């Protein structure tokens, strides 16, 4: 009877290591081993790189939404039967804002005036969206009031106008320049509606990080916006910021109760929910595709092991004859395949993490080699390719790679273990 040995004993590792190092002339498959190793490395690297870019893109997209837009927008239902819209102006906006602020989790509630007009500077024009806001409320908008990305003095906002960097670039306007805002729905006279044209000094230029925001958004002091848009004593909406925007859905009932009858809500998830759902679907599809890529790379291990088993048939017969059990032989060849998957996974993790950490210089190099224009912010909405390395993504990639490598290794290892030593040595 063959003597039972301790699983994964030292001699099993020694035999497996000898087989992995063996040259083809000695009956080894070192070339196939290297191919398997490189395949697993590249597959894991691609998986981690994809997951990190996916996480970074989602985080950057959500951050620009939450950092430059209201988490919840509150409207008043229109009471005018002749109105073409469902919402109407808010008369008691300060009282409504105070009630909203008392809701647990709300950090700020500010009245806003909104309107779309034409901006003009010298001979250049651009359609812009004007936000009338109080200076103290503008200073709390994180992406707008960021001194690292903005130019000018936000403290001078009551004296002029704040432009998005895209608007300033479109108009060719800089700090200290005066731009005109042209409102076609201006003053009503006996002879019809006269466009209202006001000129303002550019005192602040911000970059929110979203191309579609920076290209159209303009901030005007609240009282000036009331006059400009004929909203004396009125506001169009209430902009609400909360502590935890991800849980804003749980606060809707409290906000509606605080707002009172005729209150309408529109959360950031309502505004961007379709895009976020599309991102979720894309994330799942990409993970499945990359998982298939890892599986294909892992199948190289099977090919290498099958060739190794075929070449080492004589050795297997001798080992079985001198007393090795089927389990010992299985573990020897399992170590061969698993070791290749383990080393490939480690190298892939290292390369994937380095890619996520140094994505900015790498992307700059690619952009330089391609002659620029690789990333179009007008299409993708943000200005650069982001990457966010998360422990969960790395662990999922490691688990997938090792799991597939270990599983596919079992089948050729079992074939080696079940080889009949008599048949293996018959022609030797």
* DSSP string across 238-257: EEEEES-GGGGGGGHHHHHH
Distance CA 306, CA 411 (A): 9
The whole model's pTM is what? 0.73
pLDDT of residue 27: 46
Strand partners, 88: 76
Among 184, 143, 132, 211, CA closest to 376: 211
Among 411, 419, 423, CA closest to 324: 419
Q: List average pLDDT for each run of 10 residues in the chain, which is 428 residues long.
A: 61 74 56 82 92 85 83 84 68 91 92 93 92 93 88 92 93 93 77 82 91 90 93 92 89 90 88 80 86 86 75 67 72 82 92 89 76 59 73 91 88 74 55
Per DSSP, the three-state class of 198 is: strand
Phi, psi at residue 426, to the nearest 5°?
Answer: -60, -45
pLDDT of residue 172: 92
pLDDT of residue 1: 46
Query: Residue 261 corresponds to which tokens in the numbers above?
Result: 């009858």
Among 342, 420, 329, 314, CA closest to 16: 329
Distance CA 163, CA 120 (A): 12
Phi, psi at residue 136, to the nearest 5°?
Answer: -65, -30
pLDDT of residue 301: 80
Q: Tell how many helices (H) and how many strands (E) occur in the chain.
A: 15, 11
- Side-chain half-sphere of 169: how many Cα atoms within 13 Å? 9
| H-state helical runs in 119-221 | 135-138, 165-171, 211-214
Distance CA 166, CA 216 (A): 7
């Amino acid at each position: 009877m063959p003597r039972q040995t301790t699983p994964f004993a030292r001699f099993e590792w020694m035999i497996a290591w000898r087989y992995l190092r063996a040259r083809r002339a000695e009956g080894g498959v070192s070339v196939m081993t290297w191919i398997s190793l490189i395949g697993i490395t590249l597959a894991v690297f691609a998986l981690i790189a994809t997951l990190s870019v996916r996480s970074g893109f989602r985080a950057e997209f959500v951050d620009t939404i939450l950092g430059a837009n209201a988490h919840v927008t509150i409207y008043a239902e229109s009471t005018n039967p002749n109105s073409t819209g469902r919402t109407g102006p808010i008369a008691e906006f300060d009282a409504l804002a105070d009630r909203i602020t008392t809701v647990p989790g709300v950090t700020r509630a500010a009245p806003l005036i909104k309107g779309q007009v034409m901006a003009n500077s010298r001979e250049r024009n651009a359609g812009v969206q004007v936000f009338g806001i109080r200076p103290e409320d503008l200073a709390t908008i994180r992406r707008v009031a960021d001194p690292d990305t903005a130019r000018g003095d936000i403290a001078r906002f009551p004296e002029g106008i704040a432009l998005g960097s895209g608007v300033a670039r479109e108009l060719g306007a800089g700090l200290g320049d005066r731009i005109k805002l042209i409102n076609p729905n201006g003053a009503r006279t006996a002879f019809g509606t006269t466009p209202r044209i006001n000129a303002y000094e550019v005192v602040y230029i911000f970059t929110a990080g979203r191309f579609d925001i920076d290209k159209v958004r303009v901030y005007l002091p609240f009282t000036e916006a009331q006059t400009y848009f004929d909203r004396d004593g009125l506001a169009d909406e209430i902009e609400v910021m909360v502590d935890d925007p991800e849980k804003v859905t749980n606060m809707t009932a409290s906000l509606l109760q605080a707002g009172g009858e005729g209150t309408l809500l529109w959360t950031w998830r309502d505004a961007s929910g379709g895009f976020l759902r599309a991102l979720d679907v894309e994330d799942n599809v990409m993970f499945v595709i990359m998982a298939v890529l890892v599986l294909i790379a892992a199948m190289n291990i099977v090919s290498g092991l099958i060739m190794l088993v075929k070449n080492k048939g004589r050795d297997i017969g001798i080992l079985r004859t001198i007393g090795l059990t089927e389990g010992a032989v299985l573990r020897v060849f399992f170590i061969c395949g698993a070791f290749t998957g383990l080393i490939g996974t480690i190298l892939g993790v290292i390369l994937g993490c380095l890619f996520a950490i140094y994505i900015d210089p790498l992307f700059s190099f690619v952009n330089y080699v391609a002659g620029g224009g690789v990333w179009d912010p007008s299409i993708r909405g943000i200005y650069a390719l982001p990457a966010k390395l998360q422990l969960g993504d790395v662990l999922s990639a490691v688990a997938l790679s090792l799991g597939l490598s270990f599983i596919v290794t079992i089948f050729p290892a079992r074939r080696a273990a079940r080889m009949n030593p008599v048949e293996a040595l018959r022609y030797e």
